[in-house]
Amino acid sequence: MTSRNISRFWEWGRKIICVGRNYADHAKELKNAVPTEPVIFLKPPSSYVTEGSPILIPAYTSDLHHEVELGVVIGKGGTSIPQCEAMDHVAGYALCLDMTARDVQDQCKSQGLPWTLAKAFNTSCPVSAFIPKERVPDPGHVTLWLKVNEHVKQSGCTSQMIFSIPFIISYISDFISLEEGDLILTGTPKGVSAVQEHDELQAGIEGLITMSFRVDRAQ
């Protein structure tokens, strides 16, 4: 049997678990309450897209937003992981976008329905190359940025997160067992905005990685 390589975790078909409203400035810009417990939702593995392929705007939205986020790649699975052991379960990181059909999400919110079609469509999770954990000594203090057509839209530091990475890993694993190859998206800072067909998105983690994606319409 060929051994699998964690640096291509997006090919493993594992879970993508997202934390929402983890930055107070973003919760406020969308007029959401600042949470006292993490807000959790899922994306399927079919939402992954890597550089070289476009982000596709679903036909049913006219307000597709970018959300730049730090992704945490799980290297060792577990259930009810204590916070003090959480970082031992991390293999590395990835820069991620949580593409969100904001109009659909607003409609779901107002009707008390799940956000699935707003968050989990094909290409809703663009990811960078894998970053081994040794290259990120302090993931709680890295700067994320995103530009649309060269204009800076988002810039924020992971030190602004309401819930820390160890807390998030521990919290999620109390309800959903984590497996090697799972990805956790840790929420977005302020500055989310709509993208259009033919836009060029560039994003980075300062000093560590950059990535770029073109936006197209789904056929």
Name the residue nearer to Mg ion (CB basis): 37 or 150.
37
Can you tell me which of 47, 61, 100, 158 binds ligand LVPGNMZS, judged by CB under 6 A? 100
Q: Which stretch in 3-11, 19-27, 74-82, 157-165 sits in contact with ligand LVPGNMZS by CB under 6 A?
A: 19-27
| Residue 18: CB minimum distance to Mg ion, A | 6
Q: Which stretch in 1-9, 24-32, 49-57, 203-211 sits in contact with ligand LVPGNMZS by CB under 6 A?
A: 24-32
Q: Using the rule CB under 6 A, is 187 a contact of ligand LVPGNMZS?
A: yes
Q: Which two tokens stand for residue 97?
A: 């976008």
| Residue 219: CB minimum distance to ligand LVPGNMZS, A | 26
User: What does the alpha-carbon distance between residue 34 and residue 23 come to, in Å, rounded to a whole number?
Assistant: 8
Name the residue nearer to Mg ion (CB basis): 78 or 98.
98
Q: Using the rule CB under 6 A, is 98 a contact of ligand LVPGNMZS?
A: yes
Name the residue nearer to ligand LVPGNMZS (CB basis): 173 or 188.
188
Q: Using the rule CB under 6 A, is 30 a contact of ligand LVPGNMZS?
A: yes
Name the residue nearer to ligand LVPGNMZS (CB basis): 41 or 77.
41
Block residue for tokens 């051994």: 3
Residues that bind ligand LVPGNMZS (CB under 6 A): 18, 20-22, 26, 30, 32, 67, 98, 100, 187-188
